[in-house]
Structure 1
Amino acid sequence: MRPVSDSSPEPVDFLARVRAVGEKWSGDRQGKLVDVLLQAAGDNPELANLVRSSGSILEEFLEGFRRNAGTGAATSVPRDLAADLIAGRSVPQAVLDSLATRYLVAVVRSGVNGRGKAVSAEIAGPGVLSTRHDGDLVLLIPDIDDGRTTRITGHLTQWLGGSGWLAVAKRGRAQLADGFREAGDVLRLVAAGRRPSGMYSISDVLVEYAVIRHEEVAENLAAVIKPLRAHAVLWETLTALIDADYNRNKAAKNLFIHRSTLDYRLQRIAGVTGCDPTSGRGVQLLTAALIADSVR
């Protein structure tokens, strides 16, 4: 390490400050290490940038060291701990005890850039566990600081680039499998419902969630829209109407057709399904039916 400009303090001075704050640090919260080192950087912006860029590396190193030091093979961290946790598989109690008390379970699906797009370590942040499930990215974010959690989910939403969804659920460390199931259901529902890109939780899909949890209701709804599968143009018209938030002028424009042509197609949809997509009740029923059909 060396100064990047003549105005920077000598490394020995900076290291002395690091040593001084280190003597006061308890070492039990790796997630606070960057904040501690920023104290040593003082008001120098160059050293502050150095701390921010390298601090997360130190945090991850200390986290790994803390988990494995003196535990032996019987309590070593599984190779894919996040995958074990969301699957409900047993992990050593010492490993479970080393985790945060609560987590935000985030399931991320990118639309335009592909479901395999990687998330940088800067976005995920220290202490975040990650894995993949059916092509979707799964992150377990320690829910210890509302501000930090909000920043991470904000970065993830920006990372989606306006195409894709972020579904979240909060759970204690012993209920992460249940949280993953909930977030996964939310993701399926917002994708099937053709919702705009963004972050969603169960509170955003309460009606749809209730529908899919009732198997008989879901089957009856899917049966309503099933005949429309044989009419590709009508199916496209209905999805365009939903994408346009039921604005018929916008839907016609997006389909590159005249408004009268759209109205004719909507009349045909009513004839095929028995539900009028120009009425509030009818379009709600058809939207719920489309979701039920898509998640089956």
Structure 2
Amino acid sequence: MDLSPAARALALRCEPRVNELARRMARESFEELPGYAELPDDVKDLEVAATARHGVRLFLRRVAEPHLSPGSHRLFRERAAQRAEEGMPLHLLLRTHALGMYVLWQALREAAGPGDEAALLELVDLLLRSHHTIVGAVAETYLDERSALEAEQRAQRRSLVRGLLDGMLAPGHVLLEQLRLEGPALVLAISLGIGPAVAEGPVAVRRRLRRVQTVLDHAFGTEVLTLLDAESGRAVVPKGCEPPEDLARAVSRACGLEVRIAAVPADGPGAIPDAARTAGEILRVARACGLPPGLHRIDDVLLEFHLSRPSESSARIAALLDPVADRPELIDTLRTHLAEQQDRRATAQRLGLHPNTVDNRLAKIAEQTGIDLSSPRGTALVIAALLLREA
């Protein structure tokens, strides 16, 4: 909509005051905003004042060219990106734009004389209509920049945590200071088991992992360093605090999946890689020997952990189950039978079978492998064979 000659004439009266208005915004009006006073003087006197000056001149150009191209917002976008990189809060940045509009309105009101009421209304209408496009451009650019910065920081942090867990960062490495790790720590290996058969997109996975992170942070009262993906993850808890007994249940409730968590203490940053490997092994052993999902420590699988260690006899022990390797129902029955303390009725109930079916399957295993499953030695052999085959 084109402005009347009276509105253009009123706006032109403010043109000589452009520099004065920019200084007033940068050095007086914006000082009222919480946090603005902490900005460096050169930022206020150069960048903020220049942006304010650009905003006033842009408004005056719009008076002459009401349909000015959106490309005129380039400086606002550049400044918004700078403020985002420097960490200025978005609310403070947007308040400067709102307050700058008010200062410009005051200048128009001061310049108006008797009979300029209609012209003033035209200019206020233009001011309000142009303000929302500027604020939209500023907010959009700020949020895009913050998102990019945060993604970069997360990627860098994940790289550091991965290097720490994999032993690529030596004790005392300068990058370890960024993780704020000193003294004992607790290392977790996490398995997010199978849940309902629902196809998930990347957004749903990210939301679930954020919930897992939130539960871990809340459980330990500190920011937990994590490497998480859709099915598993590793974590380092500073200060080496003990995990709550209900940790796995809390994570399970948050993500809607069966969860296993293995916890291993580390004396210091240098011991974290070994603790991470041990935690991963505990998870594997707990799953292989049929323990239900939950929180696992090495004492929970002490014998099984020992039996699963490779040695000269490992291949021969693992081969004991070769005769039934092509019968997954037999292997599953054997694993469940051991997990249920060799209780045939509990095994049958868990597998949804008749107890006689369990007996028949166990007899078939004993017949084909030659292992006496009722003897302590036979039990130890099949436990070791299962664990070594899993490895």
Q: Return the TM-score normalized by structure 2.
A: 0.49
- The alpha-carbon distance between structure 1 residues 281 and 186, as it changes in their structure 2 partners (threshold 3 A), is same
Indicate conservation of the 8 Å contact 1:110/1:165, yes or no: yes
Answer yes or no: is 1:90 the counterpart of 2:169: yes
Deviations 1:41-71 (A, max 9, x none): xxxxxxxxxxxxxxxxxxxxxxxxxxxxxxx
Indicate conservation of the 8 Å contact 2:304/2:383, yes or no: no
- The alpha-carbon distance between structure 1 residues 250 and 122, as it changes in their structure 2 partners (threshold 3 A), is closer
Deviation of 1:286 after TM superposition, in Å, equals 1.3
Structure 1 match to 2:251 = 159
Structure 1 match to 2:308 = 212
Deviations 1:131-164 (A, max 9, x none): 13794211100135x4xx434x633443235833
Deviation of 1:168 after TM superposition, in Å, equals 1.3
- The alpha-carbon distance between structure 1 residues 198 and 122, as it changes in their structure 2 partners (threshold 3 A), is closer
Mapped to 2, the partners of 1:78 and 1:228 lie a distance apart of 48
Among 294, 298, 313, the residue aligned to 1:202: 298
Mapped to 1, the partners of 2:215 and 2:294 lie a distance apart of 20
Indicate conservation of the 8 Å contact 1:202/1:209, yes or no: yes
Structure 1 match to 2:201 = none
- The alpha-carbon distance between structure 1 residues 160 and 252, as it changes in their structure 2 partners (threshold 3 A), is same
Answer yes or no: is 1:232 the counterpart of 2:328: yes
Mapped to 1, the partners of 2:277 and 2:329 lie a distance apart of 34
Mapped to 2, the partners of 1:128 and 1:253 lie a distance apart of 39
Structure 1 match to 2:157 = 79
Structure 2 match to 1:99 = 181
Q: Where do 1:122-141 residues align within 5 Å? A: 122-125=215-218, 126-132=222-228, 135-141=231-237
Indicate conservation of the 8 Å contact 1:168/1:200, yes or no: yes
Indicate conservation of the 8 Å contact 2:289/2:335, yes or no: no
Indicate conservation of the 8 Å contact 2:161/2:226, yes or no: yes
Indicate conservation of the 8 Å contact 2:291/2:339, yes or no: yes
Mapped to 2, the partners of 1:253 and 1:204 lie a distance apart of 24
Indicate conservation of the 8 Å contact 1:103/1:140, yes or no: yes
Deviations 1:200-240 (A, max 9, x none): 12222222222333332322221111211123342233233
Among 201, 214, 225, the residue aligned to 1:121: 214
Q: Where do 1:1-296 residues align within 5 Å? A: 78-80=156-158, 81-90=160-169, 93-97=173-177, 98-113=180-195, 117-118=208-209, 119-125=212-218, 126-132=222-228, 135-143=231-239, 146=241, 149-151=242-244, 154-160=246-252, 163-171=258-266, 172-295=268-391
Q: Which stretch of the first structure deviates more once superposed, 269-278 or 246-255?
A: 246-255
Q: Which amino acid aligns with 1:169?
A: V
Structure ranking higher in helix proportion: 2
Indicate conservation of the 8 Å contact 1:269/1:276, yes or no: no
Mapped to 2, the partners of 1:110 and 1:134 lie a distance apart of 7
Mapped to 1, the partners of 2:224 and 2:328 lie a distance apart of 44
Q: Which amino acid aligns with 2:251?
A: W
Deviation of 1:190 after TM superposition, in Å, equals 0.7
Indicate conservation of the 8 Å contact 1:234/1:269, yes or no: yes
> What is the aligned-residue identity percentage?
27
Deviations 1:154-186 (A, max 9, x none): 334432358331111111112211111111111
Mapped to 1, the partners of 2:189 and 2:374 lie a distance apart of 34
Indicate conservation of the 8 Å contact 2:249/2:294, yes or no: yes
Q: Which has the larger radius of gyration?
A: 2
Deviation of 1:273 after TM superposition, in Å, equals 1.1
Aligned residues: 214
Alpha-carbon RMSD? 2.8
4+ runs deviating over 6 angstroms:
none
- The alpha-carbon distance between structure 1 residues 84 and 217, as it changes in their structure 2 partners (threshold 3 A), is same
Deviation of 1:78 after TM superposition, in Å, equals 4.0
